[in-house]
């Protein structure tokens, strides 16, 4: 018990330190030692208002899920159902990374949709990223919401929106009606100039800030 309390204290000090979002090897080992005991503390951090602390907690929760998956999933679903909008987005994103589906109701749905679209666009740094994102979208997002996601992405990051749309129209596991709507979107003259998805992170054009 004494060692466990000491580990929890160290984890809390790391969260309070504001040293950045990277999870060090020492913290990774600490989280693995604590297992599900670390989850409530990390959940509180994910509910917080500091983006850096939320990102740090998200990384630590991903590690905790290797040994306490059920407890982490329960915590994430609780946050997705009752947290602040930013925390809900973080929880849903981590659920998706863990291969789980989650739902949430947002106080400001349009703003959250734009933020989610921008966050996804910022991850599209190579063709393989685009392919992985398309796979994630097909597996984790309801088909009726995929088109809305592309519309939101087009507003904040036109080129990545086109890259993702190009990939999605090739997905035979996507409903033909949705693929048709995406094809029509790509043919829309108002869509940004057609650029090729980058082959390396350095080639990526940054999305427009909101």
pLDDT band of residue 18 (cuts 50, 70, 90) is low
Distant-in-sequence, close-in-space partners of 81: CB < 8 Å, separation ≥ 6: 104
Same domain, 117 and 68: no
Residues 11 and 81 in one domain: yes
Q: Which of 97, 122, 146 is the last residue of a domain?
A: 97
Give yes or no: residues 36 and 91 share one domain.
yes
pLDDT over threshold 90, residue 93:
no
Give the per-residue pLDDT at 191. 60
Say if 209 falls within a structural domain: no
Q: Is 106 exposed, middle or buried (0-12, 13-18, 19+ CB in 10 A)?
A: middle
Question: Do 87 and 115 belong together in one domain?
Answer: no
Most confident of 36-40, 96-100, 127-131, 199-203: 36-40
Euclidean distance between CA atoms 195 and 88, whole angstroms:
32
Q: Please indicate, yes or no, whether residues 6 and 74 belong to a single structural domain of this protein.
A: yes
In the chain, the N- to C-terminal Cα span, in Å, equals 48
Q: In the chain, how many domains are there?
A: 2
Domain-ending residue, one of 67, 97, 127: 97
What is the rounded average pLDDT of the residues 124-145? 83
Clarify whether residues 6 and 30 are in a common domain. Answer: yes
pLDDT tens, residue by residue, 47-77: 988 888 888 898 899 999 999 999 999 999 9
Domain edge (last residue) among 64, 97, 130: 97
CA distance 95 to 81: 13
Query: Has residue 104 been placed in a domain?
Result: no
Question: Residue 119 and residue 132: Cα distance in Å, rounded?
Answer: 14
**For residues 32 and 63, is the Cβ–Cβ distance under 8 A?**
yes
Residues 24-34: pLDDT tens digits?
Answer: 888 999 999 99
Domain that holds residue 88: 2-97
83 shares a domain with 160: no
pLDDT of 155 strictly over 60: yes
Do 61 and 85 belong together in one domain? Answer: yes
Query: Each residue of 165-207: pLDDT tens digit?
Result: 999 999 988 889 999 999 988 887 766 545 566 654 434 444 4
Rounded Cα distance, 86 and 108, in Å: 10
Residues 67 and 89 grouped into a single domain: yes
């Amino acid at each position: 018990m004494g060692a466990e309390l000491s580990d929890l204290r160290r984890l809390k000090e790391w969260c309070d330190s504001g040293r950045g979002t990277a999870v060090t090897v020492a913290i990774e080992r600490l989280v693995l030692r604590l297992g599900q005991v670390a989850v409530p503390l990390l959940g509180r951090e994910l509910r917080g208002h500091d983006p850096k602390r939320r990102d740090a907690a998200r990384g630590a929760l991903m590690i905790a899920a290797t040994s306490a998956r059920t407890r982490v999933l329960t915590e994430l679903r609780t946050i997705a159902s009752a947290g602040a909008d930013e925390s809900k987005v973080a929880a849903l994103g981590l659920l998706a990374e863990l291969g789980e589906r989650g739902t949430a109701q947002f106080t400001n749905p349009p703003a959250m949709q734009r933020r989610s679209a921008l966050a996804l666009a910022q991850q599209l740094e190579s063709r393989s990223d685009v392919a992985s994102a398309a796979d994630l979208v097909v597996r984790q997002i309801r088909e009726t919401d995929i088109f809305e996601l592309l519309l939101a992405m087009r507003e904040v990051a036109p080129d990545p929106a086109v890259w993702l749309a190009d990939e999605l129209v090739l997905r035979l596991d996507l409903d033909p009606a949705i693929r048709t709507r995406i094809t029509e979107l790509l043919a829309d003259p108002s869509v940004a100039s057609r650029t090729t998805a980058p082959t390396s992170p350095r080639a990526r054009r940054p999305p427009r800030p909101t």
